[in-house]
Every structure is written in C-alpha cells, then in structure tokens.
Chains A and B, each alone.
Chain A
C-alpha cells in the first residue's frame, strides 16, 4: 500500500492497456474520479467500456497500467500487484439480475453479509434498511422469482450496496427492462446512489441514461477516450464529429474555418452548390484555415417563415411529424436534409418554404 499518492482522486486508472489477442480493447486510458461521484463510461459495443469496468472489478488481468482505489492498489502488473476480485470490496449490478431463485428477497440481499460472519441482528437491520431504500420492504419475504424485472433489479442493487462497498460497478443494468420502466429506474438508481454516496462507475451504450444519471461522462471509441465532461458539457460542447453524433442528434456538415479568435469565428460550408458562411463557436484544437465539421442540434435550428438578418438559408419542409410537445421536421437545402425541432404552435407543414436561423452560441465548429 502506498500512502503518498500524488493524485487527489479516489479512484484512479492510469495508462490502462488490455489486449484481447491482436485487439487492443483498451488503449492506454487514464482517468480519476472523486469519492462519491457517479461516472458513466459511454460508447457503442466494442469501444472498451465494459473491458475497463471488468479491469476495475478484477474479473480479468490487465496488460499495462495501474488501478487504485483509496489507498488500495487493485492492480499494477509492472509492480506485480493483483488483488483478487473478492478482496476489492466492490458491489456489482449486471444486466442479468443474478438473483438466486430459491431464496427470498431478504435472503438474497443478506447473502454478502452472511459470508462475512456478521451478527444476525446487524444483518437484519442492514437488510431492512436497504430494502426500504430500494422500495422492496413489502417484498422481503417473497421468493425472488415472484418479482418483476424492475423489482429483481432493485433487489440486485440492494445486494450490491448492503455491505457498503468502496465502489459500485454497473454493467448496463437497465437494458433488459422495457422503456417506461427504464425511464423510472434510471431516476431511482441515481436517487439511491446519491443517498448512499458510494462512488459509482456505470457502463452503458444509451446516451439518455448517461445524460440523466451521471456527474461525469467519458465517451469512448475504439479503446480510447474521445471526451470527458459533465452531461451538459458533453451534449452542448462536443469536441468532435464522433461525440456530436453519438450523444443526441446533430446536423453535421463538412466545412472550412475562415477565422477564429477567443473560441469564436466563422465557418464556410458548401452543399450542393450553395455556399454559406456561419458565425459559430470554434471548438478546441482547430484554427483558421482548418477543415472542421459544423454541428448544430435540431432544437437549435429555428425554422421561420420570414427571414431576418443573419445567415441566408432557405429550404423546403419535407416532413413535419407531430409528436405532441414538439414537431420533428426535415428541411431540404440543396442535397442536405436538416433535422429541425419546431414548437407545435409554429404549425409547420410539409411543402412550405422556410428560412433556417442559428444562434451562434449554439452552433459549433468541431474536429472532423
């Protein structure tokens, strides 16, 4: 154990490398998080997020780097250190509920305490407390098989937190639930996590889960970190085309930066013979003369019938799908189809001509 850690992070992953055959599943990534925070590893399948999680859990060895939690070093191949998973004091919640069918809910939840030889009365108290926290008090004595999917997942969460572990790891725990239940459960999970305050790492490919639940998000692709930041930052200031496209929906168009100063500038884009210059925010790592990608969220494109000052961009509404609280529109401009979200009171109709306007604050030039 090394007491003199330079980093103030509670969990620290340094230069993590993991190979599967000829595949570099995790390619030299580093991050640290403070105690009690909720970090999401987000990306498509094969991006390395689950491999990173399993490396922290100790379910496989790593090929390079170092993982530390508090003052415990979990693994560091160079120093010849590998702490077995059962010694790491970690709670895990998986996609499959992993609940024992022959036990009651209370017995399932008590299990991690029983194998630690804790006193019966303390076990009962702690089980009762966590069941209350996850809303399963009335189900304590039911067999686990009589629970719905959502309830089984609450039971696995209760089991994961009952021993107050130093880390809580989630591996796509909501993917087996239907949409309505998933939406309820993500708010519930977040509430419970902030109540118990256990440092958590959550793996998902679902961007809306990541936005709703996380203190911070790491977006991954091909074993590398593309961007790290809070949900608002990741959504509103993606650094490149990949992140723009993976988180939410974006209108993306290749262009060239005309000028850039203090994070602002102008981008020239050309599409089907039409050329426009768009005032925008300039993302990190790009300057005047560089190739860049215009990225505008559909809710930041305003379709108006009368054009004011600003960019001149006229197109035709090809679809206007009414979805109640908003209208999902497509506006054809040259050979580019803009995705536009309009307020239902605007009453846009397919076939009408509209002008598109952008607020420079929400129009980005990002790395290709």
Chain B
C-alpha cells in the first residue's frame, strides 16, 4: 500500500507530531514542528547541522523533552507537556540505530541482538526464533556465534539494525547511521536499509544531512533549516519544485541568479537579472514565483542538467532564454562533463552528457526554456 493510499484509507497515522517546540537556553532548536507519518512510511528529516532534525528525532525517542507540543506513536501519547505526559524511551515502542554502532564487544552477534528481548523477559524459544529471524533479515545468520569485535564496520551496522528490529517495534529511528562508513559501503547499506524497511514494512524516521541518501531512500523528505520545516514532499517534488532558495540550493546543485520580478505572462514570470555595471540587464522567463509580487527581489534557479550548451550563437524563439558567457573551467568525469560559465557577474553551473573540448575563457551560449527554470521568492 502506498503512503497516500494508507492515508486516504482513513487509517490513523503511526506517528503524529504536533506543534513541537524545544529550546536549548535561548536557542530555539525546534520551532513549531508538525508532521503525520503513515504506517510503513519512510520519512527523512534532512538539513544542515544545527537545523533541528536530530533534536526532533530525539524528542520522538524520548531522549529529549520538548517544552510544548504532543507526539503520538500508534495509540499512545508518548509526550505532551501540557497534559503532563512523558514516557521513558524504553516504554515507547521504538527501535533505534545510531551513527556509532553501539554494539557490545564482549558479546556474540546473537547475544547482541537477543539482548533487547532478554531485558523484556521473552521466553527462550521466542528469543531464539525472533533473533534468528532478525539475523536472517540483515544477512548475518551465518555469523551468529562470532564476537562483535571480529566484524567489519558494515557488519556491525547490520547487527545494530537487527537489534533495532528484533522486538518488532512500531517505529524505527535512524540517526545518521551511515556517516561513519566509507563511500562504497555507505551505498550498499543504504540500499540494504531500504530493502529491509520495505520487507518488514516498519515505519521509519531517518535523520541525515546527506541529500543523496534522502533522495534515494525516502517516501517523503522533510527539509529543515534554522529549527523550522522549509518543505515537505516526495523526493522528485522537492527537487523539481523547491519552495525557496534554501531548498533549491541544499537539494542538488543549482545556480541562483538574483533579479527583480517584472510581471507575469501566463505561467511565466518575467525576471530582470542584472549583468553588472554599464551592461543592459537581461530579461529571463521562469515558472513558479509563488508568493512573489511584481517589483520583488527574486531568484531564478537553474539546474546544471537543464541548461543546453552551444558553441555558436543559436537561433532562439518561443521565449527560450539565451545567455552568453565564457567558460570558467570544466571537470571531466567520464559519464558527464561538469563546468562553470561566467555570465556577467553570475556563475552558471552546466552538466553535459558527452565530452566537449572547452577551453577556459572560450565564448559559449546557454539556452533553457522558461519551464526548466524556477522563479523563487527571496
């Protein structure tokens, strides 16, 4: 069942966070956070360090106590200061996976995973069945008797994962679990977590500052900055329709050209972009522009993969935008060529999917239709 189907079937959200506030001294760490998460959904909290994502997760876990708001998990209210409700982490039905593996070195893989069940006084036959099943799910059943110290980083993270799912919690919380792994392993574990999450169907909240992790893994992404939610949406939507320059810049690569909104012609915003002193400003067409009034300062946001490069001046028609500039530099990466082009005072990133012999300083032309550029309110 997809998230939308789950929601529209009137089923209750698995996690519900309402008007959450958390301060550290005079710092606001989380500022009115609201989010409902459907059963089985994978939601990522994404943002730079200090944006409030980890604090929010820790409030859900019960490791931090918010000053205001309410969090419900399944049928239970786990924290609600106004009602004087606060459940300790061990009384919330959650599993957690951290960046540090938090795996006990003096125990075998099996004992590490079984620990949570023993603490909960499960019967020994139940411990055996559930632990074996969890180890099978993460692909470590053949290493059950090995000591945790004899494992690689990736295997330890699998143990941590098995331990989090073994008592079948309603929600699993991930706090940057992949940041300690090297690039290859990170990708492998990322795919592994997604596979496992879909297989077990467990509701997941994942915290990361890595936008590619967020794009690949999530059903929905919550982008945060300065304690405030900036945007919530599915990965494609957030990438294609960022609501402001922060989101556009944080998710993926974009060039932001500052300008003034002159007016609208149908769907297209006309934006006047300065080209430096003594040069006529350019007029560019872009879609979007929600919340911006004529005369406002706006940004035109342009993704490198949406710019077409020309080595001679092309004929353009139908409102296609044309920029003239000089190559700053290029990097050949095999499957594509990345480059920067100076257009007046602006630096535009380009990405071409074939090799082009571009010299620094060489004159080039860039085109893009208005619907490949986005006008963003400042």
Q: Which residues of B contact A324 (CB under 8 A)?
A: 211-212, 215, 239, 251-253
Q: How far is the CA of A187 from the CA of B331 in the complex (A)?
A: 8
Q: Map CB proximity to B onto A298-327 as digits: 1 under 8 Å, 0 otherwise.
A: 110000000000000000000001111110
B residues 102-135 with Cβ under 8 Å of A? none
- Shortest C-beta distance, A215 to chain B (Å), equals 12
- Shortest C-beta distance, B44 to chain A (Å), equals 13
Chain B residue at minimal CB-CB distance from A230: B332
Q: Is B333's CB within 8 Å of the partner chain A?
A: yes
B216, B305, B332: the one contacting A343 at CB < 8 Å is B305
Q: How far is the CA of A208 from the CA of B331 in the complex (A)?
A: 10
Q: Is A83's CB within 8 Å of the partner chain B?
A: no
Q: Which residues of B contact A231 (CB under 8 A)?
A: 332, 334
- Shortest C-beta distance, A299 to chain B (Å), equals 5
Residues of B in contact (CB 8 Å), total 25
Q: How far is the CA of A297 from the CA of B252 in the complex (A)?
A: 23
A-B CB contact pairs (8 Å), 9 listed: A208-B334, A235-B332, A248-B334, A249-B335, A322-B216, A325-B253, A326-B305, A343-B305, A344-B305
- Shortest C-beta distance, A77 to chain B (Å), equals 39
B residues 52-108 with Cβ under 8 Å of A? none
When the two chains form their complex, are residues A344 and B239 in contact, meaning their CB atoms are under 8 A apart? yes
- Shortest C-beta distance, A292 to chain B (Å), equals 22
Q: Is B235's CB within 8 Å of the partner chain A?
A: yes
Chain B residue at minimal CB-CB distance from A327: B236
When the two chains form their complex, are residues A298 and B252 in contact, meaning their CB atoms are under 8 A apart? no
A residues 321-350 with Cβ under 8 Å of B? 321-326, 341, 343-345, 347
Q: Is A232's CB within 8 Å of the partner chain B?
A: yes
Chain A residue at minimal CB-CB distance from B335: A299
- Shortest C-beta distance, A343 to chain B (Å), equals 7
Chain A residue at minimal CB-CB distance from B337: A232
Q: Is A144's CB within 8 Å of the partner chain B?
A: no
B236, B251, B252, B336: the one contacting A299 at CB < 8 Å is B336
Q: How far is the CA of A235 from the CA of B251 in the complex (A)?
A: 29
Max chain B Cβ within 10 angstroms of own Cβ: one of A236, A249, A321: A321
When the two chains form their complex, are residues B334 and A235 in contact, meaning their CB atoms are under 8 A apart? yes
When the two chains form their complex, are residues A325 and B304 in contact, meaning their CB atoms are under 8 A apart? yes
Q: Which residues of A contact B252 (CB under 8 A)?
A: 324-325
Q: How far is the CA of A297 from the CA of B353 in the complex (A)?
A: 11
Q: Which 6 A-B pairs have the closest CB atoms?
A: A324-B252, A235-B334, A248-B334, A325-B305, A299-B335, A232-B355
